[in-house]
């Protein structure tokens, strides 16, 4: 296994995902983690990530000195290389020229890390790599014992290596896909130099998890809040495999789900897989609680609280349950950990509905805690969940509650569900669903005029929203073909009598958010 120490780069999680894709287990810890954790971890190699700080100055984040005394290979990336250089006796300076974006480095292929790895060869016979750079400082003098591994005109030390100690530093980012040979470089490091075996496979993950869950819960009963989303669905399938009938799921239908979603969840889990699922039809309760409320944040809170209340009520009836399972995944864990000093901390707001019913004396079971989303999806497919479900677009916890602008009414939700279903059905039919990251319909409670036959009609408006994004922090509106939009619009207006107008949202994020509320 590999330990990644995080200095706050936006790419740190990518490093971890690349390593996992290769088939090796790794974890991310903040750079100022206690030495005991490092000693206990038993890493076969350590990676020091990039970061936004400068190593020049007194309170700069540094790698724990023991990292260099473990006797295992260490790879510093960007900031990680700079702090390695400083800590081992080299020198880092502010570069006159900042480098950001594509660059070509001359790879001095005589080091064991980069040997035979190159994108092309110059007429003089130098191996070159196309890489992604993002830095202001640069290493000016290498520590004793290091030799030059890569360079660019702007950055004479773009890579350095001490092959006796197996310490390596690279200024560019091998974890981003812009660095074409990045995956090979990472693989060379973790497999050839650190000697890790590729044992982190979906089958092994399932086998290990099943064994661990059985050990943990013994013959106890486990409760899971099933939402129909990917994470809780995969937890359900995994727990069912591990402990069968000891699992009971509670599925709260708040009346703000997509078209026929409640029935689909029941068909999938209860009927097909034989999992015990208690469905609570709480539509009336939620509609009542939401009556008269138009403020988006208050709506979210009401839905969140109501959800916990209903879930609590149901859970309270299950007196023999000892464990509460949750679909926490690894990015949640990394993001809520952060570093002690607050430096290098990833800030991201979570807007998940719900939480733990506080007075329930249940132990927490989080079988996906170590997994990234792509790993969770692969697990889901291997456990027999349909890939349509596993690769479905994300759906917010408050559901249609934030896709009906202003006050939520059942009438609106019913209209919206039908319109949204048509949009999604057409996206799938046109093979566009997987090309968008998230697509949905928004209900606008305004009436606009339309002509039906000879009569004028005033009815509602919906907006179609479709975006392309990698991280959901920024997003571009999807450039769907006009013919496609026309077809969707015609179908919605013809098939849903209460809608007279369809619009398409062409705002990108920022400043517009993906959802309308
Ligand atoms: P925004 O609208 O903030 O959305 O650009 C980014 C991503 O977050 C989802 N989202 C939510 N998810 N509860 C959730 O569980 C919420 O209240 C919520 N609001 C937005 C949104 O669907 C998108 O994927």
CATH number at residue 462: 3.30.300.10
Give the closest residue (by CA) to ligand 1 atom 8: 396
Range of the structural domain that residue 272 is part of: 202-390
Mean pLDDT of 131-159: 94
Q: Are 328 and 352 in contact (CB under 8 A)?
A: no
pLDDT at position 223 is 97
Q: Residue 308 and residue 225: Cα distance in Å, rounded? A: 10
Same domain, 46 and 164: yes
Q: Residue 450 and residue 466: Cα distance in Å, rounded? A: 25
Alpha helices per DSSP H over 327-409: 330-337, 373-382, 387-390
Give the closest residue (by CA) to ligand 1 atom 7: 472
Same domain, 225 and 162: no
Distance 477 CA to ligand 1 centre (A): 16
Is 358 or 172 the better-scoring residue by pLDDT?
Answer: 172
The DSSP H or E segment spanning 141 is: strand 127-141
Distance 422 CA to ligand 1 centre (A): 22
ipTM for the predicted complex: 0.98
Same domain, 63 and 161: yes
pLDDT at position 344 is 36
Same domain, 468 and 385: no
In the predicted model, what is the mean pLDDT of the chain?
93
Neighbours of 116 (CB within 10 A): 9
Distance 253 CA to ligand 1 centre (A): 19
Same domain, 377 and 445: no
> Is residue 2 over pLDDT 50?
yes
Query: Which residue, 193, 220, 239, sits at the end of a domain?
Result: 193
Distance 399 CA to ligand 1 centre (A): 9
Mutate to test the pocket of ligand 1, among 394, 465, 507 (most ligand atoms within 8 A of CB): 394
pLDDT band at 339 (very low <50, low <70, confident <90, very high): low
Q: How many H-runs (helices) and E-runs (strands) does the chain carry?
A: 14, 19
- 193, two tokens: 């130099």
CATH number at residue 365: 3.40.50.620
400 in any annotated domain: no
Per-residue pLDDT of 434-485, as tens digits, reads 999 999 999 999 999 988 778 888 999 999 999 999 889 899 999 999 999 9
Nearest to 236 by CA among 278, 198, 185: 278
Same domain, 462 and 344: no
> Is residue 346 over pLDDT 80?
no
Q: Which residues pair with 277 in a beta bridge?
A: 249
Nearest to 489 by CA among 422, 403, 413: 422
Same domain, 414 and 347: no
Mean pLDDT of 163-188: 96
Query: Which residue, 323, 358, 390, sits at the end of a domain?
Result: 390
- 294, two tokens: 């138009």
Give the closest residue (by CA) to ligand 1 atom 3: 513
Mean pLDDT of 187-191: 98
Same domain, 34 and 132: yes
Cis peptide before 510 (omega within 30 of 0): yes
Q: Residue 498 and residue 496: Cα distance in Å, rounded? A: 6
Distance 389 CA to ligand 1 centre (A): 19
Residues ≥6 apart with Cβ < 8 Å to 408: 256, 287, 290, 293, 299, 400, 401
Which positions are catalytic?
A: 78, 173, 175
Same domain, 215 and 343: yes
Least confident among 352-366, 446-460, 501-515: 352-366
Q: Are 497 and 418 in contact (CB under 8 A)?
A: no
Q: How far is CA 29 from CA 2, 167, 340, in A?
A: 11, 19, 11
Atom of ligand 1 nearest to the CA of 516: 2
Same domain, 239 and 353: yes
Q: Are 54 and 11 in contact (CB under 8 A)?
A: no
In percent, the amount of the chain with pLDDT more than 70 equals 96
Q: Residue 514 and residue 193: Cα distance in Å, rounded? A: 43
397 in any annotated domain: no
Q: Are 493 and 445 in contact (CB under 8 A)?
A: no
Per-residue pLDDT of 413-436, as tens digits, reads 999 999 999 999 999 999 999 999
516 in any annotated domain: no
Distance 398 CA to ligand 1 centre (A): 9
CA 340 and chain centroid, separation: 23
Atom of ligand 1 nearest to the CA of 395: 22
401 in any annotated domain: no
Mean pLDDT of 38-65: 95
Mutate to test the pocket of ligand 1, among 477, 514, 517 (most ligand atoms within 8 A of CB): 514
Residue 466: phi and psi, rounded to 5, are: -145, 130
Same domain, 98 and 233: no
Query: Which residue, 166, 193, 220, sits at the end of a domain?
Result: 193
How many domains is the chain partitioned into structurally? 3
pLDDT band at 154 (very low <50, low <70, confident <90, very high): confident
Atom of ligand 1 nearest to the CA of 475: 5
> Is residue 341 over pLDDT 60?
no
CATH number at residue 187: 3.40.50.880
Same domain, 368 and 417: no
Give the closest residue (by CA) to ligand 1 atom 14: 396
Q: What residues are in contact with ligand 1 under a 6 Å CB criterion?
A: 300, 351-353, 394, 396-398, 402, 438, 472, 509, 513-515
Q: Which residues pair with 150 in a beta bridge?
A: 107, 159
Q: Residue 487 and residue 303: Cα distance in Å, rounded? A: 34
Q: Residue 61 and residue 49: Cα distance in Å, rounded? A: 11
pLDDT at position 167 is 98
Task: Say how many CA atoms lie within 13 Å of 293 toward its Cβ.
Answer: 17
């Amino acid at each position: 296994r590999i330990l990644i120490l995080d200095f706050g780069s936006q790419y740190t999680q990518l490093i971890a995902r690349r390593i996992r894709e290769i088939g090796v287990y790794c974890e991310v810890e903040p750079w100022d983690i206690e030495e005991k954790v490092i000693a206990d971890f038993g890493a076969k190699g350590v990676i020091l990530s990039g970061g936004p700080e400068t190593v020049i100055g007194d309170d700069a984040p540094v790698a724990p000195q023991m990292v260099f005394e473990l006797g295992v290979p260490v790879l510093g990336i960007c900031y990680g290389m700079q702090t390695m250089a400083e800590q081992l006796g080299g020198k880092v300076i502010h570069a006159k020229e900042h480098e950001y974006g594509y660059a070509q480095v001359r790879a001095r292929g005589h080091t064991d890390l980069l040997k035979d790895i190159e994108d092309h060869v110059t007429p003089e016979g130098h191996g070159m790599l196309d890489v992604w750079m993002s830095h202001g400082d640069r290493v000016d003098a290498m520590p004793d014992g290091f030799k030059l591994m890569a360079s660019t005109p702007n950055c004479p030390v773009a890579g350095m290596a001490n092959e006796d100690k197996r310490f390596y530093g690279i200024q560019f980012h091998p974890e981003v896909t812009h660095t074409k040979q990045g995956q090979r470089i990472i693989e060379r490091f973790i497999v050839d130099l650190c000697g890790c075996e590729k044992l982190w496979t979906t089958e092994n993950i399932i086998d290990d998890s099943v064994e661990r869950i059985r050990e943990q819960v013994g013959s106890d009963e486990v409760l899971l809040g099933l939402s129909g989303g990917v994470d809780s669905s995969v937890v359900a399938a995994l727990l069912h495999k591990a402990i069968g009938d000891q699992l009971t799921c509670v599925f709260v239908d708040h009346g703000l789900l997509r078209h026929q979603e409640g029935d689909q969840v029941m068909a999938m889990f209860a009927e097909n897989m034989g999992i015990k699922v208690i469905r609570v039809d709480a539509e009336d309760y939620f509609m009542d609680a939401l009556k008269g409320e138009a403020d988006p944040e208050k709506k979210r809170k009401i839905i969140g609280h109501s959800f916990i209340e209903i879930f609590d009520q149901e859970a309270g009836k299950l007196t023999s349950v000892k464990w509460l399972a949750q679909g926490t995944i690894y990015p949640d864990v990394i993001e809520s950990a952060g570093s002690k000093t607050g430096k290098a901390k990833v800030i991201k707001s979570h807007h998940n509905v719900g939480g733990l019913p506080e007075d329930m004396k249940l132990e927490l079971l989080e079988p996906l805690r170590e997994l990234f989303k792509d790993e969770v999806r692969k697990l889901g497919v291997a456990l027999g969940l349909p890939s349509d479900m596993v690769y479905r677009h994300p759906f917010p916890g408050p559901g249609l509650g934030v896709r009906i602008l202003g006050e939520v009414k059942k009438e609106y939700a019913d209209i919206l569900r039908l319109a949204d279903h048509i949009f999604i059905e057409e996206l799938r039919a046109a093979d566009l669903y997987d090309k968008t990251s998230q697509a949905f319909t928004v209900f606008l409670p305004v009436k606009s005029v339309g002509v039906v036959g000879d009569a004028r009609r005033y009815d509602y408006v919906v907006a179609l929203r479709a975006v392309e994004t990698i991280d959901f922090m920024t997003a571009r509106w999807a450039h769907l073909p006009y013919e496609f939009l026309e077809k969707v619009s015609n179908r919605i207006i013809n098939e849903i009598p209460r809608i007279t107008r369809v619009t398409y949202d062409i705002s990108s994020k920022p400043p517009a958010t993906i959802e309308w509320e």
